[in-house]
């Protein structure tokens, strides 16, 4: 029986413990009697062999992070191929975990967050966290050594002395449904809604070039095609600058936002609006007028990435920030009347922990704030570490943005795991499919059926759309349905039928073939 050995230390002393486990141990909780002080490290090690024909899944840091199943000798790429001046100039390390986790980029070595599994055929060995509050549980696996190493992301947090919750883990072996159902039962997590939501997003049709007139045109173009109750979502571009949320861009949206929402409701649709609440861009009034609202690390504002004019994290420990954001959500949801908010770049709430709380605890606190501010209105989370969002958002992205082509330009493939890629988006939809209907309703991003302004082949569009329809709870397009050819309109209706009625959707053991049942017939889709 393998032995899980645990070691932890504060700046005042160390402790260790061990416990015997099996793949079917269920809940395993390890504590360490650590002296009062600042945590330096908490680690555990477990002998864990991987068979040559076995697959390994390591959950990526946040929802955009590419995380396919890996083979025994696969390589998990970081940023070592990216020149330093590009990485630093565009803050590429800030989108994922690169600034606090080392990527070996050696064959057979990988890491992931909160849960992982080993799969041989239809048999899964799941190892998952039951509590991330003390710090993210980071799994590191070496197939060459046959060792699974766990680290608690807690360095720098003050411990008051006594038993420290080193690891709270769940071990299960069985079928896919058996192990994931058992984990979520142990977590006590239930999805906030079972509602399947169909609809439209403005982003991949117009990107930031939206106006009040264009949105009304799109709304008219959806009428008669989208069923009543669908979501009509206004994406990025309505705001003056990222961070300035209390008024729309006066040039683009000169009218009353409430009147626009009422028009969406009159068409029979739910109204959605995109925001990125925990960040602001350099060109925003918020950035200029409130430098004291920015999260500072070593005395300098923390840059989260290079989108827009570059964007920075807001400090959720600042009372003025919380008051501002509470006002934003009251304005959007109560005064304007939106039914759903798509909240993006949420990882910006917690790029670091501090002496009072871990990075994960801070992220969980940020997500609870959003839930409190939104009340019973729907939240679609995006760009967020997956486990802190469990049970708090109604829907959640589980992959990166799709693109208008299959896998972006060759030089873009050298960048981080969070890049835009239709192929990567499909893979994440498949390999995080177990979260759908257990943690929240999964959002796989949009599908396309249009021929204009889209470089995907017919087969690629069909693959994307079918995968999204089978393994999600929110299914959006950025097409204008009124512009469809008769063939595209027929496919649109077929996808809606699949989305609502398909049963027993599953991925074959080869990881390349999907099977599902619809209207009593068995269907098969070859992926790649």
Does 102 have pLDDT greater than 90? Answer: yes
Q: How far is CA 367 from CA 171, 308, 380, 457, 498, in A?
A: 27, 24, 12, 38, 32
**Share above pLDDT 70 across residues of the chain, in percent, rounded to a whole number:** 100
Is 390 in contact with 436 (CB distance < 8 Å)?
A: no
Is 226 in contact with 198 (CB distance < 8 Å)?
A: yes
pLDDT band at residue 410, thresholds of 50, 70 and 90? confident
> In this predicted structure, what is the pLDDT of residue 171?
98
Among residues 42, 38, 43, the alpha carbon closest in space to that of 12 is found at 38
Over the stretch 278-294, which tens digit does the pLDDT of each residue have?
Answer: 999 999 999 999 999 99
How many angstroms separate the CA atoms of 25 and 46, rounded? 13
How many angstroms separate the CA atoms of 39 and 12, rounded? 9
Domain ranges of the chain: 3-187, 405-435+444-528
Is 332 in contact with 338 (CB distance < 8 Å)?
A: yes
378-381 vs 340-343, strand pairing mode: parallel
Does 414 have pLDDT greater than 80? Answer: no
Does 1 have pLDDT greater than 80? Answer: no
Does 374 have pLDDT greater than 80? Answer: yes
What is the Cα gyration radius of the chain?
23
Q: Give Cβ neighbours of residue 500 (< 8 Å, ≥ 6 apart).
A: 196
197-201 vs 231-234, strand pairing mode: parallel
How many angstroms separate the CA atoms of 182 and 60, rounded? 21
How many angstroms separate the first and last alpha carbons of the chain? 40
> In this predicted structure, what is the pLDDT of residue 408?
81
Average pLDDT of the segment spanning 514-523: 97
> In this predicted structure, what is the pLDDT of residue 413?
80
Q: Mean pLDDT of all residues in the chain?
A: 96
Task: Return the bridge partners of 340, or none.
Answer: 272, 378
How many angstroms separate the CA atoms of 524 and 502, rounded? 12
Angle (nearest 5°) at CA 253 between 249 and 258: 110
Over the stretch 326-346, which tens digit does the pLDDT of each residue have?
Answer: 999 999 999 999 999 999 999
pLDDT band at residue 528, thresholds of 50, 70 and 90? confident
Q: Of the ranges 200-204, 405-409, 441-445, which one carries the lowest mean pLDDT score? A: 405-409
SS3 state at 121: coil
Q: Give Cβ neighbours of residue 177 (< 8 Å, ≥ 6 apart).
A: none
Over the stretch 75-86, which tens digit does the pLDDT of each residue have?
Answer: 999 999 899 999
> In this predicted structure, what is the pLDDT of residue 415?
83
Q: Of the ranges 151-155, 200-204, 222-226, 283-287, which one carries the lowest mean pLDDT score? A: 222-226
Is 493 in contact with 225 (CB distance < 8 Å)?
A: no
Does 236 have pLDDT greater than 90? Answer: yes
3-state percent breakdown (helix, strand, coil) of the chain, nearest 5: 25, 30, 45
How many angstroms separate the CA atoms of 465 and 198, rounded? 12
pLDDT band at residue 255, thresholds of 50, 70 and 90? confident
How many angstroms separate the CA atoms of 45 and 18, rounded? 9
Residue 39, both tokens: 């945590």
């Amino acid at each position: 029986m393998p032995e899980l050995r645990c070691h932890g230390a504060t700046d005042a002393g160390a402790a260790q413990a061990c416990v015997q486990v099996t793949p079917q141990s269920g809940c395993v909780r390890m504590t360490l009697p650590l002296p009062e002080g600042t945590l330096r490290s908490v680690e555990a090690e477990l002998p864990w062999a991987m068979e040559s024909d076995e697959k390994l899944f390591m959950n990526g840091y946040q929802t955009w992070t590419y995380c396919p199943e890996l083979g025994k000798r696969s390589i998990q790429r970081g940023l070592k191929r990216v020149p330093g001046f590009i990485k630093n100039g565009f803050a590429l390390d800030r989108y994922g975990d690169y600034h606090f986790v080392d990527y070996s980029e050696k064959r057979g070595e990988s890491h992931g967050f909160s849960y992982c599994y080993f799969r041989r055929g239809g048999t899964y060995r799941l190892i998952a966290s039951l509590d991330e509050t003390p710090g993210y549980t980071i799994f590191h696996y070496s197939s060459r050594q046959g060792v699974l190493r766990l680290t608690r992301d807690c360095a720098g947090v003050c411990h008051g002395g006594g038993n420290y919750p080193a690891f709270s883990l769940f071990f299960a072996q069985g079928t896919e449904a058996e192990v994931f159902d058992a984990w979520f039962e142990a977590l006590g997590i239930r999805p906030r809604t079972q509602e399947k939501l169909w609809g439209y997003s403005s982003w991949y049709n117009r990107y930031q070039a939206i106006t009040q007139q264009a949105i009304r045109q799109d709304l008219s173009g959806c009428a008669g095609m989208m069923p009543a109750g669908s979501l009509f979502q206004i994406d990025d571009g309505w705001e003056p600058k990222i961070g300035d949320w209390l008024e729309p861009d006066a040039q683009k949206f000169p009218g009353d936002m409430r009147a626009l929402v009422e028009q969406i409701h009159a068409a029979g649709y739910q109204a959605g609006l995109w925001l990125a609440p925990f960040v602001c861009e350099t060109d925003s009034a918020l950035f200029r007028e409130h430098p004291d609202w920015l999260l500072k690390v070593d005395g300098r504002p923390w840059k989260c990435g290079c989108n827009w004019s570059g964007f920075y994290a807001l400090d959720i420990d600042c009372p003025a920030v919380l008051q501002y954001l509470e006002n934003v959500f009251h304005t959007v949801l109560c005064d304007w009347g939106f039914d759903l908010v798509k909240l993006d770049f949420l990882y910006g709430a917690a790029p670091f922990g501090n002496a009072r709380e871990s990075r994960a605890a801070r992220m969980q606190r940020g997500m609870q704030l959003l839930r409190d501010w939104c009340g019973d209105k729907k939240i679609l989370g995006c760009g967020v570490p997956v486990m802190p969002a469990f049970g708090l958002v109604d829907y959640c992205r589980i992959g990166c943005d799709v693109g208008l082509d299959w896998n972006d330009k060759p030089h873009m493939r050298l960048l981080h795991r969070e890049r835009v890629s239709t192929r990567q988006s499909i893979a994440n939809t498949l390999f995080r499919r177990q979260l759908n209907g257990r943690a929240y309703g999964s959002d796989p991003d949009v599908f396309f059926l249009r021929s204009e302004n889209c470089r995907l082949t017919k087969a690629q569009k069909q693959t994307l759309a079918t995968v999204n329809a089978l393994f999600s709870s929110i299914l959006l397009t950025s097409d204008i349905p009124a512009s469809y050819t008769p063939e595209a309109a027929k496919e649109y209706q077929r996808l809606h039928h699949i989305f609502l009625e398909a049963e027993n959707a599953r991925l074959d053991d080869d990881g390349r073939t999907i099977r599902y049942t619809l209207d009593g017939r068995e269907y098969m889709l070859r992926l790649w």
